[in-house]
Amino acid sequence: MSPMSIPWSIVNGNDEDGWLSWESLGKQLKDKKYNIEWKRCSDMRIGWSGLVKFKPGQELPLHIHNPPEIYYILKGSPILKLGDEKIRSKPMDCVTIPSNCPHGLVNDTDQEVLLLYSYQEVGGNTSLPGPNYGWKFLEPIEWKTDDN
């Protein structure tokens, strides 16, 4: 694929269109604090980056995956869980998350948190989802079923 065969694009994070959640993907969570919203912003043929919104009280459970990731905190001051550490972040912090480093985020404030994420292709890891991506939750997530 030549560089010119992929068209340029602009995705505006303020647009209401394009935001996803577990519920929009047909999954029902027992605990709404995990029903965050995210928006893919880059063309997946080039890389994987986007935005994540956390309402007050919402969180991303501790998890791991193969590709390294970078967070830019754009709005809010969430608690980042990185390995065994809990760190209060602030707007304009850039967080480097190595491959398979346990990480998560808690918005324990009364303000919305907005971050930009970008998966990195380093050391043979692919940044795109697939069988080698290796996403795994490290904290229990309970999904609703037809029985409950």
| Between 52 and 42, residue with greater pLDDT | 52
Contact of 85 with 76, CB cutoff 8 Å: no
Looking at residue 140, its pLDDT comes to 87
pLDDT band for position 49 (50/70/90)?
Answer: very high
The most distant pair of C-alpha atoms in the chain lies apart, rounded to whole Å, by 51
Looking at residue 83, its pLDDT comes to 95
pLDDT band for position 110 (50/70/90)?
Answer: very high
Q: Specify the pTM.
A: 0.88
pLDDT tens for 57-107 read 999 999 999 889 999 999 999 999 999 999 999 999 999 999 999 999 999
Full DSSP string of the chain: --GGGSPP----TTSSTT-B-TGGGT--BSSGGG--EEEE-S-TTT--EEEEEE-TT-EEEEEE-SS-EEEEEEES-PEEEETTEEEE--TT-EEEE-TT--EEEE--SSS-EEEEEEE---TT--SS-STTS--EESS---B--TT-
Average pLDDT, the chain: 89
Looking at residue 126, its pLDDT comes to 67
